[in-house]
Structure 1
Amino acid sequence: MCGLLGLLTTDGTGDDAVTRVDGAMHCLRHRGPDEHGTWHDEDLILGFNRLSIIDLEHSHQPLRWGPPENPGRYALTFNGEIYNYLEVRAELARDHGAEFNTEGDSEAIVAAYHYWGAEAVRRLRGMFAFAVWDTETRELFLARDPFGIKPLFIATGTNGTAFGSEKKSLLELADVIGIDTELDPRAIEHYTVLQYVPEPETLHARIRRLESGCYARLEPGKAPEVTRYFTPTFPAAPFAPGSEQSRYREITEALEDSVAKHMRADVTVGSFLSGGIDSTAIAALAMRHNPNLITFTTGFEREGYSEVDVAAESAAAIGARHVVKVVSPAEFAAAIPEIVWYLDDPVADPALVPLWFVAKEARKHVKVVLSGEGADELFGGYTIYREPISLRPFDHLPTVLRRAAGKLSDRIPEGTRGKSLLHRGSMTLEERYYGNARSFSDAQLRAALRDFRPEWTHQDVTAPIYAQSRGWDPVARMQHLDLFTWLRGDILVKADKMTMANSLELRVPFLDPEVFAVASRVPLDQKITTRRTKRAASAPSTTKYALRRALEGIVPPHVLHRAKLGFPVPLRHWLRGTELFDWAHQQIVESGTDHIFDKAAITRMLTEHRDGSSDHSRRLWTILTFMVWHGIFVEQRIVPQIQEPLYPVSL
């Protein structure tokens, strides 16, 4: 796990350009405090900060490798981990006579690229963003893992292309490559609706992200040519009669194998642990490989907003040593500027704050943690996935009647039972579902934004994704959409940014190609179901049914059928009370975003929320997070106190 930065120039790599790249690397020091290195030739500069996880004494980067006839042909920088690197190295040695100088996974990537070409990215099990420079062909190859676990930003200007693990490092090179730093108004509107900036956008118009499951080829003076190599599909089919147990075993075996490979490291590996099934399953399986496993959780002082007790019970049940971090409202508010600086672009998910604190605590004990991200998208875990089932009666209505139901809902007072059902039932799936984040209605957005553009909607983002899933069952379509939106825009961004802010590597065993291959074949009635199990004879309609069955005997019974909670934040209460109201009001008053937001409307929202007439917590947090971001990266009114980590390698 590391931070990379590169510059492919059109006019050569003089001393000034090398110095500028080396200087911009300070923005990435938290991603790799163990080592720093640079390399350049006449066209390319590579910079690298390393967090040493595998082959600690070797595998230095930028890494040079090549076949025997040209041993220095390639230069590589690589952020992530390849969990099947031992198998890849063995296959390359056996079939091609490949030779290696280290014991790490970095050489496996560049050797695979040499012998297999772009096809190599399909053969790698892991999380990665990497750059391979071919000194013979003068071609740069950039790639990102299938699910977007590791980030990669790209900016092309008149003087070249810069690429890196974090956007802030590219902003420092904006004048070098010849780009302006204007904001993207469409991305701002997308962010306000979705709570995150959807790929490939960033809030800066001239900086974009290489999307998940894509690679790009670049030559000096040319724009990147991007190719998608992985498109997730859900070819679900009903389980054959009597095949349920064998299919559950497939899930169990795939997950066991994934966790085993994710435990490969030359440093200590721990595990995050909430009160839910996903992280508990990962921790329980990890215990098989490390009986001294340490688990970590976080919570808040307010009752009902903590899973600390459940997580502690789970840790005791599997025999893990357990560490808890309780976050106070004062700590929460004080950490926000620093957290937003690490984010690069705002993500209005308050759960990232406790994640930052638990990562900070975990880094005192371990260098790597496992976590349960991705299980909900793969196995059907979000409660919103039940919605197509509850709305099935509307599917049989003629379009004119469905639209009439929507108009009727508009005349029903807010808070009246059935209003939301009529409203959502009147719309198609494509119209009503754009992921887990649904903060603003069009009317609310029009009131909040100065430059509201009705032609810019969530369908800019979702329509091309929905077009790929025509004919699938509605839950599979929602899962597919979430893989391209909520997962990579929110879940994985906060996971990467908050852990790497603390020089901690986070690994996600559910987001493994082999686990996905099994999960994608799970039919609808094995995701959302009213079936009962021997362990929960009176269980209500449940999500992730097949996964829960597969984990019987692995996950403790008190967690197996527990509702999803995660790391909940008492934001609604804090914004009404002394904990955050004054802080929020101050942000609105001081923010230089009058040209973006109607501050009078935002202040009314805050007042209505405090008075209890409306719950505006999610909308307010979306805007407040942006205001802090704008204060840091645009106004430079807010200067976060960034304390660069200095951790020992020995953990």
Structure 2
Amino acid sequence: MCGIAALHHPTSVPAAAGEPMVDAIAHRGPDDTDQREVGRHAWLGHTRLSIVDLDGGRQPLRGLDGWTLVCNGEIYNHAQLRDDLGEQDYRTSSDSESALVLLARFGPAALDRLQGMWALCAAAPDGRFVAARDRLGIKPLYWAEVAGTRYFASELCAFPADVQAAVETFPPGCSWTPETGLVRFAEPVPEPVGMPDWAGMSAEIAEKSTREVLIDSVRRHLMADVEVGVFLSGGLDSSIVAAIAAADCAEAGQRLKTFAVGSADSPDLLAARAAAEHLGTEHHEVVFDAEQAIAALDDVVRSVESFDASLIRSAVPNWFLSELAADHVKVVLTGEGADELFAGYGYYHRTHADDLQDELARTLGELHGLNLQRCDRVTMAHGLEARVPFLDADVIAHAMSLPEELKALEDGVEKAHLRRAFTGWLPDELLWRRKVQFGTGAGAQDLLTPHWESRITDAELESTNEPVRTKEELAYYRIFRNALPTIRPEAVLTRFATA
């Protein structure tokens, strides 16, 4: 996991603008930093959190035909790609080098072969340049064009003040070159190649398939040359991830580390303790109160680079959780994405019973500006990498191929198919625990919302021209605007970008 920055100009790149951009995102990669001019038209910068090939994976990486690359993320199928492509063009053991080899040999269209989370920029001395981002936008990338120069960076704070007003989100599943412009190479939901026809098959067969694809994904997401832990909220999704990871660690003679957060006696904290005890993990937890939550808000809003109230509420406990986990591991797995694949939110069933799959696909495509943004920023603010095994391409393709009836409510309970798929892996009281959103289950909403309701008047909210919906959101907007004075709301909030 890392932070990247890049500049491109058709004739002469202003390389001096690049170093402050890398400095601004040093928290994303506290282990190392480097930068390089590539010919006259490009500059690439990188700050590194060392996870794979600790000694040889320094970036920018140089490869075939003059190409140089900076990449933020993890390529989980890099070993398979090495086998397919041959070792002759590899110089390191870095997983990112597979992206470089693919790009140099076959061009940007081949990047859809990368299985993982990533954003990259690459350049060659003769003027070629590519920027690209994974199909879901799990890893962040922003861009702007001012006076002929294109700027790219992992976070909004990296852009110079005179560029911020032009910044936009780089769209997931797309690549950009000076010759072709923006080109889509991958959709959020992969083509269901080789998926079975579920019609007529028993529910047990589908459950077995769901279990197998998730086990395979979690095992691949444990790939690292450092220790990997799990964020354990006590909810279904993170508990399944923890159960698989704990079993894998036990086979290797290791004990999984799990991490939980909440206000005192909050539902998530209590459920996480029960799950950790059942799984036999080395469990760590942090308890926060209203004073600590409010004191952290400036740091949280600046880190998340958003003012959406629900996002900030869930980010506050994640802030304390990431701070805790970073003292023990460099990588954590999370349960992000399961609700969007298996219809875990109540509104799916209340208002989209007739077009459930379409709505699931839509929300998957918007995750990059919502939960994934929060997940990435809060962990990376502490030099911690978060991985999302539910959002693996194979898992998405499988889950989205399942018939809608397997995702319907069962006796009012959501995700019954997923729960049954892991029968025996968790106690029934955890396996069938009802959905509680993280900001609520960890206790943040009860601490933060009343605080702002009592401190911002109705008149203040009614008189503001800012793009906010509640008093709480107005408070977060003020912090956001102080940190990023000229960033446009549509650059950071999905509700504006898709309106």
Shared topology, TM-score over 0.5?
yes
Q: Distance in 2 between matches of 1:545 and 1:169?
A: 43
Checking the alignment, whether the CA contact within 8 Å between 1:522 and 1:546 is kept in structure 2 is no
Once residues 305 and 409 of structure 2 are traced to their aligned partners in structure 1, the CA distance between those partners, rounded to angstroms, is 40
SS of alignment partner, residue 98 of structure 1: helix
2:496 matched to which residue of 1?
none
User: Runs (4+) of structure 1 moved beyond 6 Å?
Assistant: 233-238, 586-589
- Worse overlay, 115-124 or 326-335: 115-124
Aligned match of 1:57: 55
User: Corresponding residue for 2:402?
Assistant: 522
Matched, 1:25 2:22: yes
Aligned AA for 2:211?
A: T
User: 1:541, CA displacement in angstroms?
Assistant: 2.2
User: Residue 508 of structure 1: CA displacement?
Assistant: 0.3
Measure, in 2, the Cα distance between the counterparts of 1:588 and 1:366. Answer: 47
Change (3 A) 1:633 1:327: same
The alpha-carbon deviation at position 242 of structure 1 amounts to: 4.6
2:491 counterpart residue number: none
C-alpha distance in 2 between matches for 1:324 and 1:8: 45
Structure 2 CA distance for aligned equivalents of residues 522 and 74 of structure 1: 41
Residue in 1 aligned with 2:237? Answer: 278
Distance 1:296 1:499, change over 3 A: same
Contact map agreement 2:456 2:471 (CA 8 A) in 1? no
CA drift of 1:546 comes to: 1.9
- Counterpart in 1 of 2:359? 478
Determine if the alignment matches structure 1 residue 564 to structure 2 residue 435: yes
Residues 123 and 631 of structure 1, relative CA distance in 2, 3 Å threshold: same
* Structure 1 residue 214: Cα displacement: 1.6
- Partner residue of 2:471? 620
Moved more, 627-636 or 2-11: 627-636
Within a 5 Å distance, the mapping from 1:418-497 to structure 2 comes to: 473-485=354-366, 487-497=367-377
Q: 2:34 aligns with which of 34, 37, 52?
A: 37
Work out which of the two has the higher radius of gyration on C-alpha atoms and give 1 or 2.
1
Work out the CA distance in 2 between the residues paired with 1:150 and 1:587.
38
What is the SS of the residue equivalent to 1:335?
helix
Q: Displacement of 1:289 after TM fit?
A: 2.6
**Which residue of structure 1 lines up, in the alignment, with residue 68 of structure 2?**
75
RMSD (CA atoms): 2.7
Which SS does the other structure have where 2:267 is aligned? Answer: coil
Once the two structures are superposed, residues 419-453 of structure 1 have per-residue CA deviations (whole angstroms, 9 ceiling, x without a partner) of: xxxxxxxxxxxxxxxxxxxxxxxxxxxxxxxxxxx
Q: What does residue 85 of structure 1 align with?
A: 78
Asked if 1:149 is matched to 2:138, the reply is yes
Q: Deviations over 1:114-168 (max 9, x none)?
A: 22322322111100001121334x2211111111110110101223100010111
Asked if structure 1 preserves the Cα contact closer than 8 Å seen for 2:190 and 2:393, the reply is: no
> Residue 260 of structure 1 is aligned with which of 195, 219, 232?
219
Instruction: Give the secondary structure class of the aligned counterpart of 2:248.
Output: coil
- From the superposition, tell whether residues 380 and 575 of structure 1 become closer, same or farther in structure 2 (CA, over 3 Å): closer
User: Could you tell me which residue of structure 1 aligns to residue 8 of structure 2?
Assistant: 8
Judging changes above 3 Å, is the alpha-carbon distance between structure 1 residues 635 and 140 closer, same or farther for their aligned structure 2 residues? closer
Does structure 2 conserve the Cα–Cα contact (< 8 Å) formed by 1:351 and 1:568?
yes
1:517 Cα deviation from its structure 2 partner: 1.3
CA spacing shift, 1:474–1:306, aligned 2, 3 Å: same
Q: Distance in 1 between matches of 2:188 and 2:482?
A: 37
How far, CA to CA, are the matches of 1:155 and 1:587 in structure 2? Answer: 37
What is the Cα deviation at residue 233 of structure 1?
Answer: 6.9
The alignment partner of 1:267 has SS state of: coil
Q: Are 2:199 and 1:330 aligned?
A: no
Which residue of structure 1 aligns with residue 249 of structure 2? Answer: 290
Secondary structure, in 3 states, of the residue corresponding to 1:510?
Answer: helix
In 2 relative to 1, CA 77–242 (structure 1 residues): closer, same or farther, beyond 3 Å?
closer
- TM superposition shift of 1:554: 2.3
Task: Describe the superposition over 1:306-334 as per-residue Cα deviations: whole angstroms up to 9, x where unpaired.
Answer: 31111111011111111111111111111
Q: Which amino acid aligns with 2:320?
A: F
Q: Residues 587 and 529 of structure 1: is their aligned pair in 2 closer, same or farther, counting only changes over 3 Å?
A: closer
Instruction: Choose the corresponding residue for 2:123, options 116, 130, 133.
Output: 133
Equivalence for 2:345 = 382
Q: Deviations over 1:204-245 (max 9, x none)?
A: 4x21111122222236xxx94332422427989984335322
* 1:556-601, Cα deviation, whole Å (9 max, x unpaired): 3221111111423456644676x5556x439997x9x976249xxx
TM-score between both structures, scaled by the size of structure 1: 0.69
Write out per-residue CA displacement over residues 586-620 of structure 1, whole angstroms, 9 at most, x where no aligned residue. 9997x9x976249xxx9xxxxxxxxxxxxxxx722
Q: Which residue number corresponds to residue 551 of structure 1?
A: 422
Which amino acid letter does the alignment assign opposite residue 178 of structure 2? L
Alpha-carbon contact 2:40-2:125 (below 8 Å) kept: no
Residues 1:113 and 2:103 are matched in the alignment: yes
Matched residue type, 1:379: F
Q: Distance in 2 between matches of 1:160 and 1:98?
A: 35
Query: Would you say the 8 A contact 2:333–2:386 is kept in 1?
Result: yes
CA contact (8 A) 2:259 2:285 kept: yes
Q: Distance in 2 between matches of 1:234 and 1:360?
A: 38
In percent, how many aligned pairs have the same letter?
32
Aligned counterpart, 1:596: 465
Letter in structure 1 aligned against 2:275: S
Residue number in structure 2 paired with 1:232: 189
Letter in 2 for 1:74: W
**Which amino acid is 1:632 matched to?**
A
Give me the TM-score of the superposition, normalised by structure 2.
0.89
Equivalents in 1 of 2:377, 2:141: separation in Å? 12
Give the aligned residue type for 1:387: R
Alpha-carbon separation, structure 1, partners of 2:129 and 2:31: 26
Query: Is the CA contact (8 Å cut-off) linking 2:233 and 2:269 kept in structure 1?
Result: yes
**Structure 2 residue aligned with 1:319:** 280
